[in-house]
Structure 1
Amino acid sequence: MTAVALRQMGTLFRVEWRLFHRIRSNYVFVLVIPLLLLLGMRFVQEQMDLAAHGLSAGPVMVATAAGILLIFSLYSSVTGLYVARREELVLKRLRTGEVADPVILAGGASLYVAIAVAQIVVVTAVLSVMFGVAPRQAPAALLGLVTGVVLMTAMAAATAALCRTVESVMVATLPAIFVLPMIAGIYIPREVLPDNLGDILAYAPLSGTIDLVRSGWTAELGLAGIVTRVLVDLVWAGLFAWVAAKRFRWEPRT
C-alpha cells in the first residue's frame, strides 16, 4: 500500500472517529458488549463437559470471545456503516476524487477494526488472567486475528451490497449473527460435535480464525495446520471480496 493510500485511510479514520465521538452512546456499545460477554461466557461454557473432549475452558473461551467480537463489533457495524454512508451519498462523493475504491472501504472500516481489535485484546487478557492461561503460540493467534478482520470486513462489504436501506441491514446480517457462531465453533467447539460434522464445519467461514486463536493459547496446531486454516479464511475472504466487487453499489437505488 502506497504512502498516499495510507494518508487517505488515515483521513477517513479521523472523519469516522469524529462522527463516532459525536454520539456519546457509542461508548456504551464499546464498553457494554465486552462486559456482557465476560459475564455470560463462563456460565455458558460451564454447561459443557469440555474436559471430556480434551478441551480447556480458558483457551476455548478466548477463541469464543474473539469470534463473537469479530461478528458483532466488526461485521455488523461495518455493514451498517457502508449502507449508511451510501445512503448519505458519502461514498459517491469520495469516488469523484482520487481515492481508490478499496481505500474508501478500508478507510471507512478502519475505526471499527481498531475498536474490535482493542476489545479482543482486553477481553482475552482478562480471560487469560481469570483462567490462569497464557499464550503459548502467539503468532498463530495474531494470524487468526488478522485473517478474521480481513474476512469479516470483506463479508460486511458483500452483505452491504445486498442491502437497499439502513433498515434492511438488521435482516441481512441475521444469518451471520445467528448461524455463523453455530457452525464456526464459536458457541459450541467442533470437538463436541459428531466427528464427520466437525470435520466438515472446519471449512466454514471463521472456523480457521477460531482454531488459530485457540491454538495461540494451546499450541495445538503445527505449521501445516496453521497454513491450512489461514488459507481457508483467505479463500472465504476472497469470495466475499469478489461478490462485493461485482455487486457493491456506491449510491442509493433510484
Structure 2
Amino acid sequence: MRTDVLHAMRLARIDLTLVGRNTTVLFNVLLLPLLMAWVYTEAVGAEKIDGVAGRVFVLAGLPGLLLVFAVFINLVNSFTARREELVLKRLRAGQPSGPAILGGAALGALVLYLAQVALLAVWMRRSEGVTVANVPMLVTVAVLGVALFCLLAAAFSGLTPNAELAQVTVLPVLLVVLVGAPIAFPAGTLPGPLGDVAALLPATPVVEIARTAFLGGDHLSGGGAALSTGGQWMAALPSFAILLGWLVVAGLLARWLFRWEPRHG
C-alpha cells in the first residue's frame, strides 16, 4: 500500500512537470475554461439569479466546468496517447500497480484542479468581494469530482482509437456539460424532463455543491436562502449521493473499457 502511494506521488510529479512544459496543454487546462467563464459572466451581467448577481452565480458554479477541462479532457488525451505509445504497458510491467498508475494521474489532475479553484476563489474575492463560505465542503466535492472524472476519462480513453481522435471523443461530454449543467442557470428552471435529466448529470452535483460552498446559501434546492454550516452539509446530502452513485458507475465503466495496450482493428 505504501509503495503504491509513493509510486502514485512520483507519477503525479512527472505528470505535472510534463504539463508545465506543454504550452498547449496549459492553455487548454488552465486558461481556456477561465476564458469561457468570462464569456458566461458577460452574458448574464448583473442580472439576479437565485438571489445573487449573475456573475457571482456563474463563477461559484464554475468548478463543475473546470473538471471537464482540467481532468476529463486532459486525462482522455493523456491516457490515449500513453496507451498508443506503449507507455502504459511498460509502466504496468514495472513496479507501479494499475491503481497506482491511475492514482498518479488522478493526483496530478487534483493538484491542477485545486490550483484552478484557488485562482477562481481569488478572482471572486477581488472582483466580487465573495469569500468561500465552506472550505471543507469545497475541498470534499473537489476530491470526489476529480475521482469521478478521472474514472470517466479512463473509460472514454478505452473508446478512443488513437490520440488524434481524442478531441472528438470528449466532445459529447463537453457539450452536455456546457448545455445541461446548471452553470449559468438553476437546474430547476429547465422544463419538465429536461430539469430531471440535468439534475442527474455527473457535473451537476459538483456545480451545485461548489456554489453552496462558495456562497453559503441553498443553491441545491433553489432560492439561495442563507444556511448554517451544518445546514449546508445537510442540504448537500442528496447531491453527494448522486455524486457517489456516479462514482460507482464510472468505476465499473473504467474497469470494463479501459485498455492498457493499443487497440487493434
Q: Aligned to 1:227, which of 214, 221, 237?
A: 237
Give the structure 1 partner of residue 15 of structure 2: 16
- Unpaired stretches in structure 2, ≥5 consecutive residues: 221-230
Further displaced range: 68-77 or 193-202: 193-202
Residues 114-172 of structure 1 show CA distances to partners (whole Å, capped at 9, x for unaligned) of 11220121123212331122222333322222221111111111111111101121111
Further displaced range: 21-30 or 197-206: 21-30
RMSD over equivalenced CA pairs, Å? 2.3
**d(CA) in 1 for partners of 2:16 and 2:129?**
35
Further displaced range: 213-222 or 3-12: 213-222
Conserved in 2, the CA contact under 8 Å of 1:143 and 1:212?
A: no
Give the structure 1 partner of residue 210 of structure 2: 213
Conserved in 1, the CA contact under 8 Å of 2:40 and 2:184?
A: no
Q: Aligned to 2:247, which of 220, 237, 242?
A: 237
Q: Aligned to 1:249, which of 242, 259, 262?
A: 259
Structure-2 change in CA distance of 1:32 and 1:165 (3 Å): same
- Unpaired stretches in structure 1, ≥5 consecutive residues: none
Q: Compute the displacement of 1:13 (Å).
A: 1.8
Further displaced range: 180-189 or 86-95: 180-189
**d(CA) in 2 for partners of 1:243 and 1:196?**
25
**d(CA) in 2 for partners of 1:195 and 1:143?**
31
Conserved in 1, the CA contact under 8 Å of 2:45 and 2:55?
A: no
- AA of the residue aligned to 1:101: G
**SS of alignment partner, residue 135 of structure 1:** coil
**d(CA) in 2 for partners of 1:162 and 1:234?**
23
**d(CA) in 2 for partners of 1:37 and 1:247?**
31
- AA of the residue aligned to 2:216: T
Q: Does residue 67 of structure 2 align to residue 57 of structure 1?
A: no
The TM-score, its normalising length taken from structure 2, stands at 0.84
Give the structure 2 partner of residue 126 of structure 1: 123
Structure-2 change in CA distance of 1:28 and 1:209 (3 Å): closer
Q: Does residue 131 of structure 2 align to residue 98 of structure 1?
A: no
**d(CA) in 1 for partners of 2:129 and 2:28?**
28
Q: Does residue 180 of structure 2 align to residue 190 of structure 1?
A: no
Structure-2 change in CA distance of 1:3 and 1:33 (3 Å): same
**SS of alignment partner, residue 94 of structure 2:** coil
The TM-score, its normalising length taken from structure 1, stands at 0.87
**d(CA) in 2 for partners of 1:140 and 1:109?**
19
**SS of alignment partner, residue 159 of structure 2:** coil
**d(CA) in 2 for partners of 1:24 and 1:203?**
35
Q: Aligned to 1:203, which of 200, 204, 208?
A: 200
Further displaced range: 164-173 or 16-25: 16-25
Q: Compute the displacement of 1:4 (Å).
A: 1.2
- AA of the residue aligned to 2:144: T
